[in-house]
Structure 1
Amino acid sequence: MVTINAFRKLALSFPEVTEEPHFEKTSFRIKKKIFATFDERNKRAIIKLSEIDQNVFSTAAKSIIYPVDNKWGKQGWTIIEMEKVNRKLFDDALTVAYCTVAPQKLAELVNRNNKDY
């Protein structure tokens, strides 16, 4: 299980991230582009992945990480069930989401600092 506080701490540790409201959710953005949202009521995160990364994470944990069930899912938006996901898998997925959306120079900073990535 991953809490909103753990989510927030990791998301805000990435370079130049801001936290902003997004309808009834909390969003995390880089250069005004959303890479993750948190739906506190449903205990879900939604992150932006490439099609390949979405497939890899979904295959690893089909009932915990899966595409949004509409056109947004086909664009890489992926649901994470926060009460079921383990911390390491979540950290990896959120890091990949950040690097997917961030400008290359900022993504490279995260990649260099994350030895497991």
Structure 2
Amino acid sequence: MATGADLRRLALALEGTIEAPHFDRAAFKVVRNYVTLAADEKTANFKFTPDEQEFKCMLAPEAFSPVPNAWGQQGWTTADLSKLSLAKLQNALETAWAHAVKKRPVRRKI
């Protein structure tokens, strides 16, 4: 069973991650946010691709569910931390983190 303290510790151990306030949540980001932690530290929202979201929700429906709005359609996925092992939490963090560190292509002005 994972906790908010576990998420915070594991996320901040990922290279370049900082913690910042995000409305009523704590956000963990590098170039962009990749996970937010609820104020009660019981749930977290991860940024996955839609395919990753579908896979996680199919594999562990008791732990993962799409955020119920347009954010969910973009891959944002809620996790019940109490339903995650530390290994599953680490995997979810690393998956979301990998997307957040990817650099966007540079647009050239002509």
Question: Would you say same fold, with TM above 0.5?
Answer: yes
Alpha-carbon contact 1:26-1:38 (below 8 Å) kept = yes
Greater shift, 21-30 or 33-42, is seen at 33-42
1:7-27 C-alpha deviation (Å, 9 max, x unpaired): 111111111111001111111
Q: Does 1:89 align with 2:63?
A: no
Unmatched segments (≥5 aa) in structure 2: 104-110
Aligned residues: 103
Q: Does 1:54 align with 2:70?
A: no
Report what 2:108 is aligned to. Answer: none
Look up the equivalent residue of 2:83 and give its one-letter code.
K
Unmatched segments (≥5 aa) in structure 1: 105-117
- Give the TM-score normalised by structure 1: 0.82
Off by >2 Å, runs of 4+ in structure 1: none
Alpha-carbon contact 1:54-1:76 (below 8 Å) kept = yes
Report what 2:23 is aligned to. Answer: 23
Q: Does 1:11 align with 2:1?
A: no
- Give the TM-score normalised by structure 2: 0.87
Structure with the bigger RCO (C-alpha within 8 Å, sep 6+) is 2
Look up the equivalent residue of 1:55 and give its one-letter code.
E
CA distance, structure 2, for counterparts of residue 42 and residue 5 of structure 1? 8
